[in-house]
Structure 1
């Protein structure tokens, strides 16, 4: 069986392309461990207060908070963000959407609450995302012979990640605009339908009233002639 195994006498060398592929694969497998994100869509009933929580392991981590009201009422919601001590971080009333990034100064659970107290009966559909990300960059494996390749690839990956985040934000913005415009179109269609129905009922009522008046008039005139 040993005669079937080929012997390689040439020195083994890794091409730069193969090294870049391994680096990209390692980065993609490491990024989910660096970033902890939660993207949800929640329907908040009238007079309801819903809270969500994100845990921070160490001081200095970046927390990104994004929300947008997709449907319901005037597309507004009250929100409040508090730190583990219960102190206010950010808040707002009757806001349609928001996009915030702040630094966690304390370890523990940060609460993100939405309140629909201003609505009497309208439910609010809120699309939000909470992201907890470590500020320092990940340490990538480097080859002693070509450290500049690893540095350039690291910078390129972070620029690509930033561009993808911008694209994601833009897609969320257009999704929100589409949902709101669709809700406006549906509301306008309903108003046109009920207005047309009311207009038709008024026309039929006026026609019936005219017939009644004319018949009453001729009946009175006929009684007077007799």
Structure 2
């Protein structure tokens, strides 16, 4: 238990992650930006997004560094998973733009992660077993990598589920309005037929000689 506790504390000291997971609607012709601070050069930035619903499930995106230089962009992308190296300290911007759509609102799920992984320090106490600690650290990092893959897979299935639900809902709405219009057309034709037959047999003022 003591070894596991030490390993957990060591892992917490090795990895520092600042993340924000959000789901936001983006209206038609809207540009929406989010920002993340990087404290030192060399930190890793993880950027993931997926369009959950709306239109063709696509969006334009753009990532800029603190000097307003575009370091990553894309047009009509459905989803993306990127890892960037922050070479400049400051505020990075992550923007989504829904210019291609004039009426449809998009729902976007995204994560922004700023991660720092400093080097391991040498054991502070001579009694510590560095070989066992190193092997346990490698095992924990492998487990962490597998957990991250599971998380990405869950996000992928979550996105597919939301898109499937959005498509089914859109088809359901279209079928509903199609049935409503079809019913109105049938009722209108029936009323017109009754009116025509009624006026045909109730004509007055004319005489017919046989």
TM-score normalized with structure 2 length: 0.88
The answer to whether the 8 A contact 2:19-2:114 is kept is yes
Secondary structure of residue in 1 paired with 2:104: coil
The answer to whether the 8 A contact 2:37-2:90 is kept is yes
Partner of 1:124: 106
Q: Within 5 A, what are the aligned runs for 1:67-82?
A: 67-82=49-64
Q: Within 5 A, what are the aligned runs for 1:5-154?
A: 18-27=1-10, 29-30=12-13, 34-139=16-121, 144=127, 146-154=129-137
Q: How far, CA to CA, are the matches of 1:27 and 1:159 in structure 2?
A: 15
Do residues 189 (structure 1) and 189 (structure 2) align? no
Q: How far, CA to CA, are the matches of 1:55 and 1:217 in structure 2?
A: 81
TM-score normalized with structure 1 length: 0.82
Equivalent of 1:173 in 149, 153, 156: 156
Q: How far, CA to CA, are the matches of 2:204 and 2:126 in structure 1?
A: 112
Higher strand share: 2
From the CA coordinates, give the structure whose radius of gyration is larger.
1
Q: Between Structure 1 and Structure 2, how many residues are aligned?
A: 208
1:102-159 CA-to-partner distances (Å, cap 9, x unmatched) read 2112121111111122222322221111111124455485774632211111001100
